[in-house]
A and B are shown apart, each in its own frame.
Chain A
Amino acid sequence: MNASQEKQYVDLFRQARTMLARHSSPVMDAVRDEAFSFFEAKGFPSPKDEGYKYTDLRPKFAIDYGMNLNRLDVKVDPYKTFRCDVPNLSTSLFFVVNDTFCARHEHLTALPAGVEIMSLREAAAKHPSLLAAHYDKLAGQSQDSLTAFNTAFAEDGVFLYVPDNVVVEKPIQLINVMSANVDMMANRRMLIIIGENAQAKFLVCDHADGEVNYLSTQVVEIFVGRNAVFDYYELEETTAANTRVANTYVRQEASSNVLVNGVTLTNGTTRNHVTVMLEGENAEIMLGGIATVDRWQHIDNNTLIDHRVPRCTSNELFKYVLDDEAVGAFAGKVRVNPGAQKTSSQQTNKNLCLTKQARMYAQPQLEIYADDVKCSHGATVGQLDENAVFYMRQRGLSKKEAMNLLMFAFVNEVVDNIRMDALKDRLHLLVEKRFRGELDRCGGCTKCKYE
């Protein structure tokens, strides 16, 4: 392996060590050195690492990016420049520009009492014990060198806290915008704590502005308390020059219900990983994903559902539509630990390849150490049903139209799992536009509309 790719970052870390400490909080800084030595020892993952078999990120890290380690102010007001609205969906809207959190007062006050969304730095001052009890507690165990990379370099991030028994009716929306004039890397971090019996919906949209190379590493840690209900949606609409490495870690207590749904509409290279740890009985997880990729786009979803206690339910549904020379990969592992009896787990991965050059790698895996379980997985790769296309053409639909209709129906199954009607409608529209080839830009932003 070419050691120089790591060297660039190893040197940077050593040079910027004091700066990293100055711009972050003691809690974040406490785990930094350990994470860094882990990264230094392991290096960037190569296709020889099972989890990164289909996505070689090393060339992406070889690019000389700028990093805003010195926390220079964001020059733009994202509220004025970017709008990514979901029609008929009023959300509490926040931004992360590159890796800096921006909030407006009116959105903060609109949240129910006790609900906090703020930068991790602010949280370190306001909720030091909460932060100390949760930060890097999930990610730190992951043995993933890119997570360690993020922990080593992240200076700030987003902190969301919903206290016990609080129901947040209005969805909270966070827009990640990559915006720079030069090649840029951002190390984003999120810590989400949902208290007992609490409920919240969180929508994260990823955008990239301009044509420079972007690379974002993102680590999200989500703690969901007993009986809580939490929805976590990710919607990626970035550019071909964007690389996204997102590792999400979810820990669920008893009787909690979590939905994680990741939609990749346009992107460059994306590698998403989700680990769900089911720690309390009767916890339920619904994990879903859609990818509609074309040209040379690359999408890799890698998931691990870890059933650690009895009587939990997991459902997984991923659907890909691959066009042109796009590459799709899906690796989903369900692990049922010893003693996790009465587990019910279902995993489905279906993929449509539209051209000869499109490639799909599917790897649905089960690791089961308990006997009283019902687990199944299924994966298919195929094309649209010729008979169905023929049927529609007989009735006067053009071939293109018939195909769009079928593809739309194909991914709709995942969209229908979404528990936010307005987002569902919006996605129906976006997916349709995407298939019609009209979705070059997201269309919702003023940035896109007026520039």
Chain B
Amino acid sequence: MQIKDNNNEYVKTVAASDYKYGFTTDIETEIIPKGLNEDVIRLISAKKGEPEWLLDFRLKAYRHWTTMTMPRWAHLDIPDIDFQDISYYANPLKKDRPKSMDEVDPELIKTFNKLGIPLEEQMALSGMAVDAVMDSVSVKTTFKENLMEKGIIFCSISEAVREHPDLVKRYLGSVVSYTDNFFAALNSAVFTDGSFVYIPKGVRCPMELSTYFRINAAETGQFERTLIVADDDSYVSYLEGCTAPMRDSNQLHAAIVEIYVHDRAEVKYSTVQNWYPGDKEGKGGIYNFVTKRGLCKGESSKLSWTQVETGSAITWKYPSCVLAGNNSQAEFYSVAVTNNYQQADTGTKMIHLGSNTRSTIISKGISAGRSQNSYRGLVRVAEKAENVRNYSQCDSLLLGDRCGAHTFPYMDIHNDTAVVEHEATTSKISEEQIFYCNQRGIATEEAIGLIVNGYAREVLNKLPMEFAVEAQKLLQVSLEGSVG
């Protein structure tokens, strides 16, 4: 009983804590009028000075999108979205692209500083290249020259369209076609910017590539498109992290990440997602509808997704792997935290097409408050895929009696040599565990943080060091005031 009382008090004190990253930067932005039609797409394309083939790609996607309806199968309560009430392009007004840090808008630098990623510090200390995306246009890219020496291309996708059109043309839409799903079609039609990475044959990328996304202008959807291509025998680790300022009306985010992995190449993609989840009454927050997919095209290729999902009002995200090459490997590690009125329907798809392919899925869901947290996964073994091995584990942790944790795994096995395992458990933090900590002088709040971090450790360990620290902090911040 003592524990209960403590918890209640704790809830009261911490419930007042607000979203720490809620602030707006004052930068002039150029926004085109709301609405979506072919003219808007032509306008976006023209503003970005795109070639004809890309405009065609957009228009094809748009025309296909108009025939589609919003998917409703997820365990989510998605309010109707008026796609005509969104502005599809926002561009921070810039005359020239900055060549050094001095030229970067000081307001922008401040924003990044608040987020705890001072560009200059990172340049100097962490050896990371940061392709900072503020709204939709890439503003600053660092270490590009260093990477260039090795032949690595790391730039915004608009730049890539201009400078490496053949590469973009070859790979854009090759993993996620514009017909794939409703949001993929929308993104293909209106994507404004994103990152492009190309690692040439045999090159091991010497540093972790990182993009920090940030939605800034009010009521503009952000539609990034990331394309990563790892050529034969190459390796790259890519980090993506997001925070967004506080907003009243909901914001839509429909991104696409495509990863193409050639023979014996390896790609590691890590995400920390901490967009504004809405306030305690469930008002506001980002709608995050993302299509992420990697194609292990080559033999013995390897792809690893790691994600820590703590933000967004609604998350609809299934980083997937298509294991086409023989002996290819895929991994999916995920921690998804939902609090207050957040909803998350996330998981992965492992499509085994090649023989001797292996996949591992580790998913940890934590739900608190009145949130709903679902794992939805598919493991498909095609008829011709011999000796496939899959291991899936999805655990859910419930904090509070008004939240929900759900698991919807699908296993479609069409080959007898496959060994596929799925395991799931759902439980809450036991009073014994908390009591044990209390006995040893650890306060309830701290104890819960300890237990949750221990629970998610398996996944956090997979994150690069810089991220792991941030992720751990995020877990605690996201769960503050939720434990009762």
Chain B's closest residue to A365 (CB) is B408
Of the 9-residue stretches B183-191, B280-288, B396-404, which lies at the interface with chain A? B396-404
> For A368, what are the chain B residues with a Cβ–Cβ distance below 8 Å?
396, 398, 404-406, 426
Complex Cα distance A24/B51, Å?
Answer: 73
Enumerate chain A residues within 8 angstroms of B423, measured Cβ to Cβ: 376-378
Interchain CA distance A365-B425 in the complex, whole Å: 11
Q: Across the interface, do A380 and B420 meet the contact criterion of CB distance under 8 Å?
A: yes
Q: Which chain B residues in 381-401 approach chain A with CB under 8 Å? A: 383, 396, 398-401
Confirm or deny: A405 has a beta carbon within 8 angstroms of a beta carbon on chain B: no
Q: Is the interface of B mostly helix, strand, loop or mixed?
A: strand
CA distance A359 to B385 in the complex (A): 13
Compute how far the CA of A358 lies from the CA of B408 in the bound complex, rounded to whole angstroms.
23
**CB distance A338 to B402 under 8 Å?**
yes
Determine whether the beta carbon of B426 is less than 8 Å from that of A373. Answer: yes
Cβ of B416 and Cβ of A353 under 8 Å apart? yes
Q: What range describes how many residues of B lie at the interface?
A: 35 or more
Return chain B residues, CB-CB under 8 Å to A365. 406-409
**Which residues of chain B (404-419) have a CB below 8 Å from chain A?**
404-419
Q: Is the CB of A364 within 8 A of B422?
A: yes
Give chain B residues whose Cβ lies under 8 Å from the Cβ of A377.
Answer: 407, 422-424
Contact B424 A376 (CB under 8 A): yes
Q: In the complex, what residue of chain A is closest to B409 when comparing beta carbons?
A: A364
When the two chains form their complex, are residues A380 and B428 in contact, meaning their CB atoms are under 8 A apart? no
Q: Would A383 and B416 count as touching, CB distance under 8 A?
A: yes
Whether B415 pairs with A370 at a CB distance below 8 angstroms is no
| Nearest neighbor of A361 in chain B, beta-carbon distance | B412
CB-defined contacts of B419 to chain A, threshold 8 Å: 380-383
Cβ of B411 and Cβ of A363 under 8 Å apart?
A: yes
Give Cα distance in the complex from A375 to B405, angstroms: 11
A353 and B401: CB pair below 8 A? no
Contact B411 A375, beta carbon cutoff 8 Å: no
Closest chain B residue, CB of each to CB of A372 = B428
Nearest-CB residue, chain A, relative to B424: A377
The answer on a CB contact under 8 Å between A379 and B383 is no
Contacts of B425 in A (CB 8 A): 374-376
Complex alpha-carbon distance, A369 and B403, angstroms: 6
Is B421 in contact with chain A by the CB < 8 A criterion?
yes
Q: A361-B411, A363-B408, A363-B411 are in contact. Are A372 and B420 (CB under 8 A)?
A: no
Asked if A381 and B426 sit within 8 Å, CB to CB, the answer is no
* Complex CA distance for A380 and B413, rounded to whole angstroms: 10
Asked if residues A378 and B422 are in contact (CB atoms below 8 Å), the reply is yes
Question: A351 CA to B419 CA in the complex, in Å?
Answer: 10
Q: Is A367 an interface residue (CB 8 A)?
A: yes
Tell me if B426 and A366 are in contact (CB < 8 A): yes
| Closest chain A residue to B373, Cβ basis | A368
- Whether B422 pairs with A356 at a CB distance below 8 angstroms is no
Please, which residue of chain B has its CB at the minimum distance from the CB of A378?
B423
Q: Does B126 contact A (CB under 8 A)?
A: no
Q: A363-B410, A383-B416, A383-B417 are in contact. Are A370 and B398 (CB under 8 A)?
A: yes
User: Which A residues, 311 to 343, have Cβ-Cβ distances below 8 Å to chain B?
Assistant: 338-339, 341
Q: In the complex, which residues of chain A have a beta carbon less than 8 angstroms from the beta carbon of B8?
A: none
Chain B neighbourhood of A382, CB < 8 A: 418-421
Closest Cβ neighbor of A339 among chain B residues: B401
Tell me which residues across on chain A come within 8 A of B399, comparing CB atoms: 371
How many cross-chain pairs have Cβ atoms below 8 Å apart between A and B? Answer: 116
B-chain residues with CB within 8 Å of residue A373 when the two chains form the complex: 398, 426-428
Q: What residues of A have a CB within 8 angstroms of the CB of B400 in the complex?
A: 371
User: Smallest CB-CB separation from B390: which chain A residue?
Assistant: A381
Q: Which residue of A lies closest to B419 (CB)?
A: A382
Q: What residues on A are CB-neighbors of B420 within 8 Å?
A: 379-382
* A window 344-364: CB within 8 A of B: 351, 353-364
Measured between alpha carbons, how far is A276 from B406 in the docked complex, in Å? 19
Contacts of A375 in B (CB 8 A): 425-427
CB distance from B417 to the nearest CB of A (A): 7
Q: What string of 1s and 0s marks CB contacts (under 8 Å) between A149-186 and chain B?
A: 00000000000000000000000000000000000000
- Complex formed: what's the CA distance from A3 to B338 in Å? 44
Q: Contacts A356-B416, A371-B398, A381-B420; is A362 near B411 (CB within 8 Å)?
A: yes
Question: Known: A369-B403, A372-B401. Is A380-B426 also a contact (CB below 8 A)?
Answer: no
Asked whether, in the complex, the Cβ of A360 is within 8 Å of the Cβ of B424, the reply is no
CA distance A184 to B355 in the complex (A): 45
Instruction: Check if B401 sits within 8 Å of A366, measured CB to CB.
Output: no
Contacts of B413 in A (CB 8 A): 351, 353, 359-362, 381
Contacts of A339 in B (CB 8 A): 401
Complex CA distance for A376 and B122, rounded to whole angstroms: 44
How far is A381 from B385 in the complex, measured between Cα atoms in Å? 14
With both chains docked as a complex, state the minimum distance between the C-beta of B404 and any C-beta of chain A, in angstroms: 4
Q: Which residues of B contact A355 (CB under 8 A)?
A: 416
Please name all residues of chain B whose beta carbon is closer than 8 Å to the beta carbon of A372 when the two chains form the complex: 401, 428
Query: Which residues, 379 to 410 on A, are CB-close (under 8 Å) to B?
Result: 379-383
Contact A367 B406 (CB under 8 A): yes
**A367 in contact with B404 (CB, 8 Å):** yes
Residues of A within 8 A of B405 (CB): 366, 368
- Of B73, B403, B409, B414, the contact of A359 (CB 8 Å cutoff): B414
B58-77 residues with Cβ-Cβ distance < 8 A to A are 73, 75
Taken together as a complex, chains A and B put the C-alpha atoms of A341 and B423 apart, in Å, by 22
Most buried by B among A338, A368, A372, A373: A368
Neighbouring A residues of B396 by C-beta, 8 Å: 366, 368
Least distance between B452 CB and chain A CB atoms (Å): 14
Docked complex Cα distance between A368 and B367 (Å): 11
Whether A353 and B418, one on each chain, are in contact in the complex, defined by CB atoms closer than 8 angstroms, is: yes
Could you say which residues of chain B place their CB within 8 Å of the CB of A356? 383, 415-417
Q: Provide a sorted-by-A list of 8 A–B residue pairs whose CB atoms are within 8 angstroms.
A: A351-B413, A356-B383, A359-B414, A361-B412, A366-B424, A367-B404, A375-B425, A377-B424
Interface set of B (CB-CB < 8 Å, partner A)? 73, 75, 383, 396, 398-428
* Chain A residues within 8 Å of B, Cβ to Cβ: 50, 338-339, 341, 351, 353-383
Taking A362-B411, A378-B421 as given, write out 18 further A-B residue pairs in contact, using a Cβ cutoff of 8 Å, ordered by the A residue number.
Answer: A50-B73, A353-B415, A354-B416, A355-B416, A358-B416, A362-B409, A364-B422, A366-B405, A367-B406, A368-B398, A368-B404, A371-B401, A371-B403, A373-B398, A376-B423, A380-B420, A380-B422, A382-B421
Q: What 4 pairs between A and B have smallest CB-CB spacing?
A: A371-B398, A353-B416, A362-B411, A375-B426
